[in-house]
Structure 1
Amino acid sequence: MAVVTRVVVCGLGGTIAMTAGPDGRLAPALRAGDLIAAVPGLAALGLELELLDVARVPSASLRTADVVGLARRIGALLAAGADGVVVTQGTDTLEECAYLLDLLHERPEPVVVTGAMRHPLLAGADGPANLLAALTVAADPGARGRGVLVAFADEVHAAARVRKAHSTSLTAFVSATGGPVGRLVEGRVRYLAGPAPRVVLPRPAGDGLPRVPLIVAALGADAPEPDLAADGLVVAAFGVGHLPEWWAEPLAELALRMPVVLASRTLAGPVLADTYGYAGSERDLLERGLIPAGFLEPVKARMLVLAVLAAGGGRAEVRDALAVAGGPGG
């Protein structure tokens, strides 16, 4: 007897679930069942589907606590026997949501996040194709042990590397470091890279989460205040990790009482450690106590710091986690 794969589809809203209201304005109103009904060729996968409407909101309005709550539900679904989970959501914060889910996902079963760039009322809406791809990945044995994946435009990306690189393109999602880990070819998943090292952290027990701002450097901008009310901080610096010289001392003061992570606003390539030596250079800032993010992008670094602190860790644990997550392999 053939084994039936059970996949749970969790709907969060977003463009993939948008439809027009009486006033003609778009809002995320479609349920998970509506999305599934629009997918051609789904029966050929032979899946047993469970549909779960978690939220119907634009992803810009998701809170970190919402994603942590979803991670708890996903853990319970997999523990109860589901073989995989697909999450449909808006693309605005998809890269952050997927990575936070990845940090909190300790089981081998695949979790696949997808969405759409064109809403269902447009010609060439990409939601059905992306959902079919996500379901195909979630049911594929080769996806086990890879953590959270993102399926978009017939490409499969690791959550730690994927980002939205265009505001409207159907191929908006890219992995600047290493490229996609797989592709959909003739209805099957073809993997281009093996599973990368991952950081996995305990899921927070409550809804109270640490405050971790993200500050982006800009020409001539004022430095962060040394009395910044936060539990951790991520700075998106210029280039390989450079900041205005007048930022160095205030950040050093902040680093005495919280983890301060140095990432690059370029969104591709690493923060260096020992090339430049002037005030505000990467070497100067690391000597003042900042922690390098490596290849990890600023919004992902923020998710990691938040998850480490929520698990009871501190500066040392953030540094250790970034040593893994910030490497080129993930």
Structure 2
Amino acid sequence: MIAGADPNVLDIGKRSPLHLAAEAGHHRVVRVILLKGADVDKLTCLSKTPLRLAASKGHTLCVSERLLGRADKDRAGSFLGTTPLVQRGRKQPPRCRQEALTAGADSRRPTLGHYFPFDIAARRGHANILKAFLETGTEVVAADGNGWTALHGAASGIPSLDNRGTIRVLLEAGVNVNAKATCRSLYTPLHLTVDYRVASVGMVGALLEGGADVNARAERDQTPLHVAGGRSNVAAVELLLRCGVDEKLTNDDGDTPADVIGAADHAGHMVDNEADNQRILRMLARAPADMASPRLAGAEPLPPDQGGDRDRKRELQ
């Protein structure tokens, strides 16, 4: 560094040399600038600290140097109030978060949207990050003001994420698999997981393995089978039936799951979903006989395509 140069000089975006070096991952430059007295918590015009920039790019060594420079590891930036611990999701190496956690970063500090790093990690399916939180003493909060647990967050993640690993970590940590939200829906995690047109079989299976109540009641006395059937979700319906759900239970309107098949289709896809709706209707009609069959009782759940093949073969026989 040039002798006498100001380590805190700012460019038009209010970025100091430390911001630029941290974002670029130049950890040796970061060390030199820190020794020259750079402001470790300076905010850019977008309210980003050097630590937040380093964390957002996954620069582990820079994160380590910044912490040695006594940066505020919990300082929030941007209009969302996100901390370095919340940055970057799957693209951030676990070691980056481990550096912050080891230095005492608060995994229960909320963003301005009242989301906690622990709960964000659960929703995004970061099982390894959750393990790191738990290993550093993070307490799993039972539920928020709406009765929403971290398991609700993991279960509500889009099926393509397949959060089964995250769900298992949370269950091992003692999160209540049958906790009901106290907000309007009264959903359990299982209700949330099957509330998709196409569910993640792995996520549903992880909850069932963890002891989820297949006959749990939600708003209007809906069971998970009501919800799955309403979504025309063949795979979820089959999985629930194999686990002993009572297909005759009625909701507040006196409807069984068979009465509400496809009822949650608000996008005008009834024609497209009709084949699956008919398959679900047949599955529910023969459910008692299927469950009594030694071949099917206790069988491993089939992937959705194989389940469909089985139904089509039966129709041809």
More strand by share: 1
Question: Normalized against structure 1, the TM-score is what?
Answer: 0.26
Q: Which has the larger radius of gyration?
A: 2
Q: Compare relative contact order (CA 8 Å, sep 6+) and give the higher one, 1 or 2.
A: 1
Question: Normalized against structure 2, the TM-score is what?
Answer: 0.27
